[in-house]
Amino acid sequence: MSYDYEALLERARSQLPVATIKRERLELPELQHMIIGMRTIVQNLGEVAEILNRDIHHLLKFLTGELATAATIQDSKVIFQGKFSKDTIERIIRRYMEIFVICPVCKRPDTKIIKEKRLSFLLCEACGAKSSIKTI
């Protein structure tokens, strides 16, 4: 029995689960950002934190440290003291993802932060790697 390559390839692709075919698994929503006076409001930071599978307070602590400003949370809306562009906030969120979300071994976002004594580790649920991370 002889099969041609294209038929075998199509058969293999049909048996793959949908999640492995999809290219980008971690897609962040567009930030709902506005500047009012000397304050910057990000209305959907809670949604971003939920997609990253992180506590909004952890993400906010990183953002305020990088922006060198203060912020308050009201529901899932965050109000920063000062004027910050949307690009600046998105760039800092991407840096947060590189440090605290993406596994350094397999580059997947399936991680969680665990604390052992006074140290924090990034535990990958996909490959099982355990990497130390700095505290904020």
Same domain, 86 and 129: no
Q: Are 100 and 133 in contact (CB under 8 A)?
A: yes
SS (H, E, C) 59-127: HHHHHHHHHCCCEEEECCEEEEECCCCHHHHHHHHHHHHHHHCCCCCCCCCCEEEEEECCEEEEEECCC
- 107 falls in which pLDDT band (50, 70, 90)? confident
Same domain, 87 and 107: no
**Phi, psi (degrees; rounded to nearest 5) at 108:** -105, 155
Claim: this prediction has a pTM higher than 0.85? no
- 97 falls in which pLDDT band (50, 70, 90)? very high
Same domain, 57 and 95: yes
Lowest mean pLDDT among 1-5, 26-30, 93-97: 1-5
Same domain, 41 and 75: yes
Q: pLDDT value at position 106?
A: 86
Same domain, 90 and 49: yes
Q: How many domains does the chain fold into?
A: 2
- What's the chain's average pLDDT? 87
Same domain, 70 and 38: yes
Give the pLDDT confidence of 41-56 residue by residue, as tens digits: 999 999 999 989 899 9
Does the pLDDT at position 76 exceed 80? no
Structural domain harbouring 111: 103-136
Same domain, 71 and 127: no
> Is 18 inside any structural domain?
no
